[in-house]
Each structure stands twice: as structure tokens, then as C-alpha cells.
Structure 1
Amino acid sequence: MERYDLLYRLYEEFEADTLRELQDFVDLFPPVDSRIALDYWQDASDELESRKDAIRSSFAAGDAFAEIAARSTRDQTFTALDLHSKYGRAVNALVLDVDETLRSAGRTDNEIPRDTLHLLTEFHEAGVPIVICTGQTLENVKGFTIQGLGNELVHSGDVSIVYEAGTGVFTPGHGSTTKQLLYEDLDPTVREVFSEVRSRVLPQAPDDLRESVHLQGNEFNITLKPNFDIGSDPAEAVIDEGLVYLVDLLGRAVAAAVDGDFGVESAEHWSRAYYADADPEVADVLAAEDAAPECEVDDVPDPIIDLFDRIDVAYYHADAAEIGSLELNKPNGVQAALDVLGVDDPFVLVMGDSKSDLRVMEWAAEADAGIAAAPKHASQDVLTHVLETDELVYDRGDAASMLRTVYVLNLLDER
């Protein structure tokens, strides 16, 4: 009998919804001292095993089918079956963005839900390495990762953190390769530009802007964050103003770093022209802030263009304005992390919501190295990519549903 028919029979003949409720209760039951509560947990555990035993005795692959019914819905299971039919292999690493992917300010109070954290431990126990891939600083990521997953798991040697969108990689337990500062390999001229911008970004900011933003504590990237609630109207106003300021400051720094007689006034308009042409969102902000470029990108001198081509300006609405290196991005960081983790033939699950995550998704698709998933509120470019590949879209704050699907994919591959 084909797997489709067997799985159809599984969900027709057994109460999978009850089985999942029991499994979730047993997995997520909080530690308590109450004897009555512990007895209740034991009763649920016994019933769970009894129901699993009934499935085990009914199918040749009973162990796998019992786990499938206890972990995923019918829709998740058949999505997993479709994925396995298409790719014919299991996911051998998870590549996960955090903010608005694993956790959501709108649905999870900016905390990674317990069921998501538990599923990550299940993947870890199954030998699947985890790569946390984020634009946040290393210290921030280490803090909530250890708090959520535990110090032992994070330092197991099977977890890596790609931080600041790929400027560095931290993989505890790997000796000399534990921390890789990828930005140290950049051309000295590029590093000079970043050093110049960093030294001037707050001291030379207009008073109103300097009082309304702060510089995120990055090792390399230069990120302005609002001193207001992210997403609020005041945050939108200061980040839009901050973006114009960063673009102009970057233009002056590039002109100073390039050999040639380039004036500061022209450099600002060259920078505005280049980055407006490169990103429609940046162009819209510049126009709204009465800072539209007064020249065309074709007017920018080639030596300036060559350096702009290596530096990225990113805009996150009412959240951040950032300068980063295009040679340091999440795909490069992920590949460096996978090398340290020993994943030689990657087939990863990439989960993310932003343009920087899209680059990892596109790398995975082009290299036949994985699949991509995104929440419904992801950026349009991300959603377009995901919908055009495997349609792995999930509700805000419900990353667990996608992890369950991939968990079943891996179980099916073991059969």
C-alpha cells in the first residue's frame, strides 16, 4: 500500500487530535511540586503511550506513524509527504531567523513560544544542527537562545549563531573556529569607510536626531534604532530622517576613501542617486523627506560606484536604518556556520521574513540546498519566493506548525 493510503488510514482510524493534545501536554507540562498535578501528568503520559501502542501494532512502520500522528495535523503530514516526494531527502539543518519569524511582537509577546522551543530540542535530539541567523548582536542572541534552549544545548557543538546579518559566526564548542569575524577579511578600504561612518554617525547627527535614535551595539554593521516603540509613528519619523542622514554620511565617507578629487556636496547626491536606484523603498523615503537625488546614477563616477557596489543600505520601516557590507550577508554566514557544523551536503529549512532572509532562501533554491518558509506577514518579496517554491507559509507567531511539518518530513525519510 502506498504511503499516501497508509497516512490517510492513520488519520481516518485514529483520533490524532486527541493524541496531539496529549503529546503537547506531556511535552510542555510545567514543572510543579503538586502531587495531584504530577499524577495527572502521569495519567496523560500513560494514555498517550497506550494510544501510540495501538498505532504501532497496526502499521509496519508503527513507531514512525505513532510519532507522526502525535506531532502533526493531517494537513501538515500531507504537506510533508509532498515535500518528500518532490525532494526525496530529509532536512539536515535548520536555518532560522528570530524576530517576526520564531517570535512575534504581535502574537507571542516577543518571546519564542514554548512549543517552538520544545520542537527545536526535538530536532537537536534527532541530530539536526540549528543555525540561528539574525541581524541582532551576538550578545542579544546568546542571551535569549541560552534562556530558551538551555546552556547545555547551545554549547553542545550542534548550534551556531550567524549574527549581524552575516558579519560574524559563533559556534560554541569548536575550538579555534568557535568565533569567526568574517568582517576581518574585507578589503581595507571598505573597513575604512565603516570606521569613518561609525566615528561620525552620532557626534555629527543633528540634535533632534541624536536625541531620538541610538546606535545598536554591532561589531561591524552600523544600525540606527529609534528611541521609541518600534512600529510607532515617532519611530517611523526618526528612522526615515536617520536613513537620509546615513546615506549622506556614507557618500561623504566613500568619497574620502577613494583616490581622487571628489567634493563632499556631490558625494551626498551620488549616494542618494545610487541607493535610490538600488532600492525603491529607499527612493520613496528620500522623496518623502525632500532629499531626492539631484543627479542620475549614471552621473556617479566609476570609482565611487565600485565602492557603493560593495556596501548595502537597508531600511526597515519604523524599525532601523542600517549600513552593511554586501560581501557579508546571511548566505555567506550560513555557509560558514554549516562548514563548522560539518554539514557537507546541506538540505536546510530556511525560515525568515525579511530581505536578508530572502538571500538565504535564494541561495538554498539555486544550490538545491533546501526549502524556504515564511510567516504571512513577511515582506512581499519573501512571500513571492516562498509561494513560487513550496508554498510554506504559516500564521504570525506559529513557527511551530512549520517545524512540525519538517519533523514529519524527516520521519518519512527514515522509512
Structure 2
Amino acid sequence: MERYDQLYRLYDEFDAATLRALQNFVDLFPPVDSRVALEHWQEASDELDDRKAEVRDAFPEAGETFCELAARATRDQAFTALDLYAKYDRGVNVLVLDVDETLRSAGGTDNEIPRETLHLLTEFHEAGTPIVVCTGQTLENVKGFLIQGLGNEIVHSGNLSVVYEAGTGVFTPGHGADTKRLLYDDLDRDVRAIFDTVRSRVLSEAPERLRRGCHLQGNEFNVTLKPNFETGSDEARAVIDRALVYELDLLGTAVAAEVGERVEADDETASDWARAYYADQDPEIRGVLESEGETPDCDPEAVPDPIRDTFERIDVAYYEADAAEIGSLELNKVVGVESAFDVLGIDDPFAAVMGDSKSDLRVMEWVAEDGSGIAAAPEHASRDVLDHVIRTDELVFDRGKAGDVLRTIFALNRLANLG
């Protein structure tokens, strides 16, 4: 209990709120050409040093750690960090971070990663913590905003990896032949053919309502329909529900055509097979089919083995009022993160995984299986993600506030260093 007693003393006896305000001001002070502003910054920096010295002197055996805790973490964040250390007995040695709706959120930060979050990531980098950015976006998009936000030096440091297009490839600058790994090279030809068919037809053959209400994202192995309405709105929910049914039917016919030599079926039967199989796999998909009046006429056990074997390699994901997605289960974020760890040389990971979607959930569950990480999610994450995060360590943060969890992880690592 000694560490808990020390934290109580730290936050009871010292003005940690002022310390944090001073630290934030010093850290995030914008570049200005003003003598008065620079003098104000210097005064704040001097006061910060004086207050830290008081904390440092009060804790002779761990003064540096405790003055940094007070300056970086709230009371709740510090105690959460100590609880995590008591539970896992180690600190985080790699960050695995989704971008959209996790690091940045269109709802609250003008679709930019907040400066506070970028600064905290810079501090983790300077402390030697590898960063794996794990996203469904294209590599060029990710490189662009990472270089803009973190700087070219960090992105090309050799300690940062990008898992892009939800696991299609891994980009880790500074690692020679392993700098870029194209994971889809190992994908079988028959699965490639199915995705080629789905992608070529998904918009051209869509009903007019879907063509007007959706746009296509992803790559040839990740076909995602997104709404042309505000995410979360009633209009977005309606069009994505219809898009899910349409994608299931399209996938069913594409799979039946690919394995046609072994199984004969008309389009209606093939669509029913897809609906039955994926409704059995995912209660949310089943709920959408029921609400749309499109429940399948067949039992999932009636799906022929060759069709089922192919479905087992393909994922269908539903994100309420946000997206309907078809992806390869052999090209996912878990596979990408595993490859990134391999390139970065992380043999014994204890990862902090932050994300909001079902593709992020797979990574969270993967690290949880053998106690090799913790998970955090924004409060607007998908229901399954929130269920997992609340059931494990309850690291849920407000929209646009990923920095709150990063501060908890900072505190955890500081406490772990004390032993």
C-alpha cells in the first residue's frame, strides 16, 4: 500500500492542478514572435520548475517520478495507472493506435489530431516507446498527416510503423527490405477473385438510393460503403442498413460464382446463404436483417460446405450509422500488428491498444488472450468494443480526448520504472 499512500499524499498536499496547467502551457505554447509572450512563457517555466522542486524534495526516494506524475496526470489518472500496475506488474512498451474517431474525431476536433495528443505521442517516442498506427486509411493519407503532426524525423525514426488499409500492408521506415510489407501477396487467387467481383459491382449495380446515399472506401480487399450523411444520423443509419443487406447479397452471389463448379445456386439462394451465415455469426447483422424485413429463408446449417469454407475467410462488418464493410479475414489489423511487431523487434509486447471499431476489437482481444496488453476506447465506440474495454480495465475516454488515456499510460510507465 506504500505507493497508494504516496499518491494520496501527492495529490492531497500539492496543487497538482496548477502544476498540470503550467506544464501544459510550457509544452503547448505556440511559436510566436513576441518578447512579452516569451517572457510570460519563461515565467511559467520558472514557476513550474520551482513547484516540481518542492514535490521532488518531499519524496526523496522517487521525487522525479512524483513531480512528473503531478505535472502530467490527474488524480484519477494516476490512481488508475497504479491499479493497472498492481494488476499487470509491468508498463506499456508499445502503442497501437487507430486514427479516425480515436486519435481524432470529426465531432469535436475539426477532424484533426489535437495538439495535446500529438505532443504526448512525441514524448512517448522520446522515451523509446514504439508506435504502431493501425488504420483503414491508405498509406499516403496516413503518412501525410503523421508527418504534418509528428514530424518527418519521428515518422522515419525506425521506431514507428503504419498498418494501413486495415492490414493490407505494413510500412516501417528505416528497416531496409522490411520497410514495406505487402501482406496481400499471400492471399489466395480465389479470394482475390471474389473481392474483384464485389468491388467492380458494388456501386455500378447498387440501387439508386444507395448510389446517391453512399460512397466507396477501402481497397480491393476491403470494400466499405460509407454514408453521404452525417455519421450517426438517422439518414446514415437507414442507408447503411440497406447497404449491409445489399453487400451480403452481392457477396453471396460472388462466392457462389467462384465455387460454381462444386455448388450450383441461383442468385436468390446464394444471397440467402450469405444472410444466414453472417446473421448467425453476428447479432447486429441479424438485427439489421430483421428490421429491414430481409431475414433469410434458410437455416445457417443448410449453407453448403464449399460456400461456408469461403465465407469463413471473409468478414462482413456492420457499424451502425457509419459503415457496411466486407474484408478479408486473412488481411486484418491483427495480422498487420503482428507483422509490425516483428519488424520493430518487439518480442515481449505489452501493448496499449486504442480504437473504436470491430477491426480494433480483434487486436484488443488478441493482446488480452495472453495478458500482453490493455485496451482503451472512446465513449462513442461500437457496442462490442465498449463491452470489451469496460469488462477489462474500463479505459473509456470522451470524444477527442485520447490524451487522457495516454496520460494514464504515461503514469503507468513511470510507476513501473520505480518497480
TM-score (norm 2): 0.94
Alpha-carbon distance, 1:217 to partner:
4.6
Number of the residue aligned with 1:56: 56
Residues 88-107 of structure 1: CA deviation (Å, up to 9, x unaligned): 11100001112222222332
Residues 335-386 of structure 1: CA deviation (Å, up to 9, x unaligned): 1111111111000111122222111111111122111112222222222222
Partner AA of 1:336 in structure 2: S
| Corresponding residue to 1:275 among 269, 273, 278 | 278
In the alignment, the residues of structure 2 paired with residue 197 and residue 380 of structure 1 have an alpha-carbon distance, to the nearest angstrom, of 28
Alpha-carbon distance, 1:49 to partner:
0.9
Cα gap change, 1:179/1:346 in structure 2, threshold over 3 Å: closer, same or farther? same
Partner AA of 2:210 in structure 1: L
Alpha-carbon distance, 1:220 to partner:
2.5
In the alignment, the residues of structure 2 paired with residue 373 and residue 7 of structure 1 have an alpha-carbon distance, to the nearest angstrom, of 23
In the alignment, the residues of structure 2 paired with residue 223 and residue 101 of structure 1 have an alpha-carbon distance, to the nearest angstrom, of 19
Number of the residue aligned with 2:248: 247
Structure 2 SS opposite 1:228:
coil
Number of the residue aligned with 1:151: 152
Instruction: Trace 1:10-409 onto structure 2 (pairs within 5 A).
Output: 10-59=10-59, 60-258=61-259, 259-265=261-267, 266-409=269-412
In the alignment, the residues of structure 1 paired with residue 221 and residue 158 of structure 2 have an alpha-carbon distance, to the nearest angstrom, of 25
In the alignment, the residues of structure 1 paired with residue 295 and residue 114 of structure 2 have an alpha-carbon distance, to the nearest angstrom, of 43
2:199/2:220 contact within 8 Å kept: no
Q: CA RMSD in A?
A: 1.7
Gaps of 5+ in 1: none
Identity %: 70
Structure 1 SS opposite 2:109:
coil
Number of the residue aligned with 1:3: 3
Alpha-carbon distance, 1:391 to partner:
1.9
Structure 2 SS opposite 1:211:
helix
TM-score (norm 1): 0.95
Partner AA of 2:349 in structure 1: P
Cα gap change, 1:359/1:34 in structure 2, threshold over 3 Å: closer, same or farther? same
Residues 147-175 of structure 1: CA deviation (Å, up to 9, x unaligned): 22122211111111112222221212222
In the alignment, the residues of structure 2 paired with residue 311 and residue 206 of structure 1 have an alpha-carbon distance, to the nearest angstrom, of 24
Structure 1 SS opposite 2:47:
helix
Alpha-carbon distance, 1:403 to partner:
0.7
Residues 95-149 of structure 1: CA deviation (Å, up to 9, x unaligned): 1112222222332232221111111111000000111112223232222222221
Partner AA of 1:110 in structure 2: N
Alpha-carbon distance, 1:229 to partner:
2.8
1:137/1:219 contact within 8 Å kept: no
In the alignment, the residues of structure 2 paired with residue 46 and residue 237 of structure 1 have an alpha-carbon distance, to the nearest angstrom, of 56
Partner AA of 1:273 in structure 2: A
In the alignment, the residues of structure 2 paired with residue 357 and residue 372 of structure 1 have an alpha-carbon distance, to the nearest angstrom, of 10
Partner AA of 1:190 in structure 2: V
In the alignment, the residues of structure 1 paired with residue 42 and residue 327 of structure 2 have an alpha-carbon distance, to the nearest angstrom, of 52
In the alignment, the residues of structure 1 paired with residue 121 and residue 306 of structure 2 have an alpha-carbon distance, to the nearest angstrom, of 47
In the alignment, the residues of structure 2 paired with residue 243 and residue 377 of structure 1 have an alpha-carbon distance, to the nearest angstrom, of 21
Q: Which moved more, 1:386-395 or 1:243-252?
A: 386-395
Alpha-carbon distance, 1:26 to partner:
0.2
In the alignment, the residues of structure 2 paired with residue 216 and residue 396 of structure 1 have an alpha-carbon distance, to the nearest angstrom, of 23
Partner AA of 1:311 in structure 2: I
In the alignment, the residues of structure 1 paired with residue 354 and residue 318 of structure 2 have an alpha-carbon distance, to the nearest angstrom, of 20
In the alignment, the residues of structure 2 paired with residue 343 and residue 264 of structure 1 have an alpha-carbon distance, to the nearest angstrom, of 49
In the alignment, the residues of structure 1 paired with residue 4 and residue 63 of structure 2 have an alpha-carbon distance, to the nearest angstrom, of 15
1:169/1:336 contact within 8 Å kept: yes
Structure 1 SS opposite 2:219:
coil
Partner AA of 2:183 in structure 1: L
Q: Which moved more, 1:78-87 or 1:3-12?
A: 3-12
Partner AA of 2:237 in structure 1: E
In the alignment, the residues of structure 1 paired with residue 46 and residue 368 of structure 2 have an alpha-carbon distance, to the nearest angstrom, of 43
Gaps of 5+ in 2: none
Cα gap change, 1:37/1:272 in structure 2, threshold over 3 Å: closer, same or farther? same
In the alignment, the residues of structure 2 paired with residue 237 and residue 131 of structure 1 have an alpha-carbon distance, to the nearest angstrom, of 34
The alignment covers a number of residue pairs equal to 415
In the alignment, the residues of structure 2 paired with residue 157 and residue 249 of structure 1 have an alpha-carbon distance, to the nearest angstrom, of 42
Alpha-carbon distance, 1:247 to partner:
1.0
Partner AA of 2:171 in structure 1: F
Partner AA of 2:253 in structure 1: R
